Amino acid sequence: MAKQEWKPGNMVYPLPAVLVTCRDEKGKDNILTVAWTGTVNTNPPMVYISVRPERYSYEMIRSTKEFVINLTTKELVWATDFCGVNSGRDMDKFERCKLHKEEASVVKAPLLAESPVNIECRVTEEKKLGSHSMFLAKVVAVHADEEYMDEKGRFSFAKAKPIVYSHGEYYRLGEKLGTFGYSVKKKGKKKGKKPSKKH
């Protein structure tokens, strides 16, 4: 198989496309679309977002040290794109996108009501990396919409239809291909009638 060698670049795709909500010290709210985000630790639960310092939300997050990661769905794809290409300096994105706020339980930044999962975060460290600054944060609360729970009371991403971002394009996640550990799981014995003993 022939492969091309490219110059160094970010090629870890696809990525979650999330809507990050924040509130400044005067009480003004904003929404920022972020693709540079993910999990960094299990215990304590920690995540990160990377934001360009010139973005309007950067100073809001840097000063308050709080934000909320709101997962996105097929129904939120237009708003996800809109909030990524427009600045909160120029408009109220909640109003323009017809999105609704809910008060968080721990942080002051609002939750996005239309999001299936809201993750409240408190910044522990900022790392200036170059084009972006990375905010490492502890997860202090999680909210999951009951609409997307399955019959066992677990959150169903299949019902939520989350979207991802890859090379300037948005995609909806689809078919489940396996479950964690299925590659090493021992096959169970087939149930059936025991063979009768021959006399």
**Domain locations in the chain as residue ranges:** 15-172
In sequence order, what are the residues at sequence separation of 6 or more whose Cβ sits closer than 8 angstroms to the Cβ of residue 36?
Answer: 15, 49, 50, 51, 132, 134
Closest CA relative to residue 70, chosen from 24, 106, 33, 95: 33
Paired tokens of 30: 């904003």
Strand-pair category, 18-23 with 66-70: antiparallel
CB 56 within 8 A of CB 5: no
Category of 117 on φ-ψ map: left (φ > 0), alpha (ψ -120 to 50) or beta: beta
Residue 52: name the closest of 38, 36, 70, 72 by CA: 36
- The reported pLDDT for the residue numbered 188 is 64
User: What is the C-alpha to C-alpha distance for residues 39 and 14, in angstroms, rounded to an integer?
Assistant: 15
Q: Give the pLDDT score at 40.
A: 97
Mean pLDDT by 10 residues, the chain (199 residues): 91 94 96 97 98 97 98 96 95 97 98 97 98 98 92 86 93 86 77 51
Cα Rg for the chain, rounded, in angstroms? 21
Task: Report how far residue 87's alpha carbon sits from residue 183's, in angstroms, rounded to the nearest whole number.
Answer: 45
Q: Are 130 and 94 in contact (CB under 8 A)?
A: no
Backbone angles phi, psi at 27, to 5 degrees: 95, 10
- Residue 154: both structure tokens together: 């677990």
pLDDT at 180: 87
Cα 126 from chain centroid (whole Å): 19
Q: Which of 75, 28, 69 is nearest to 49 (CA)?
A: 69
Class of the CATH domain delimited by 15-172: mainly beta
